[in-house]
Amino acid sequence: MTMRFCDEVDVVVEAFSGFGVDEKSLISILGKWNKDEAKNFRNRTKFFIEDERHFEKWVVDQMDKIKREFLRFQGAIVLWTMHPWERDARLINEALIDGPKSYNVLVEIGCTRKSDELFGARKAYHSLYNRSIEEDVASIVTGVERKLFVALVSSYRYEGPKVHEETAKFEAKTLYNAVVNAAKKHPLEDEDVVRILSTRSKLHLKSVFKHYKEISGRDMEEVLEEAINLHADEKVKGGLTRVIVTRADVDMKVIKEEYRKKNGGTLINKIEGMANGNFKDFLLTLLARGG
Q: What is the largest CA-CA distance in the chain?
A: 76
Question: 60 and 46 in one domain?
Answer: yes
Q: Which of 230, 246, 273 is the last residue of a domain?
A: 230
Residues contacting 192, CB < 8 A, separation 6+: 171, 174, 178
Neighbours of 110 (CB within 10 A): 25
Which whole number is the average pLDDT over 132-144? Answer: 96
The CATH number of residue 33's host domain is 1.10.220
In this structure, the answer to whether residues 132 and 145 fall within a common structural domain is: yes
Element (H, E) at 264: none
Q: Are 234 and 101 in contact (CB under 8 A)?
A: yes
How far apart, in Å, are the Cα atoms of 211 and each of 175, 189, 190? 10, 22, 19
Which phi and psi (to 5°) does residue 246 adopt? -85, -20
d(CA 27, CA 241): 24
* Listed residue (253, 168, 172) closest to 220, CA to CA: 172
Domain boundary among 50, 81, 112: 81
pLDDT at 236 over 90: no
Residue 147 and residue 90 share a domain: yes
Does one domain contain both 65 and 77?
A: yes
Q: How high does pLDDT run on average in the chain?
A: 90
* Domain identity same for 72 and 3: yes
95 plus 36 within the same structural domain = no
pTM: predicted TM-score of the whole model, two decimal places: 0.84
Same domain for 137 and 91, yes or no, is yes
Residues 188, 260: one domain?
no
In the predicted model, is pLDDT for residue 234 greater than 50?
no
Check whether residue 133 and residue 91 sit in a common domain: yes
Collapsed DSSP state (helix, strand, coil) of residue 48: strand
Judge if 184 and 197 occupy the same domain: yes
Q: Are 55 and 130 found together in one domain?
A: no
Rounded Cα gap, residues 131 and 136, in angstroms: 7
Q: Does one domain contain both 102 and 41?
A: no
DSSP state of 131: S
Count of beta carbons in the 10 Å neighbourhood of residue 1? 10
Could you give the number of structural domains in the chain?
4
Three-state DSSP class for 204? helix
Q: For residue range 190-233, what is the model confidence (pLDDT) as tens digits?
A: 999 999 999 999 999 999 999 999 999 888 766 675 554 444 34
Q: How far apart are CA 33 and CA 36, in angstroms?
A: 8
Least confident of 12-21, 34-43, 68-77, 193-202: 12-21
* CATH number (domain holding residue 134): 1.10.220.10
User: The domain containing residue 258 runs over which residues?
Assistant: 235-289
Which of these three, 190, 208, 230, is where a domain ends? 230
pLDDT in tens, 80-118: 999 999 999 999 999 999 999 899 999 999 999 999 999
Residue 8 has pLDDT above 80, yes or no: yes
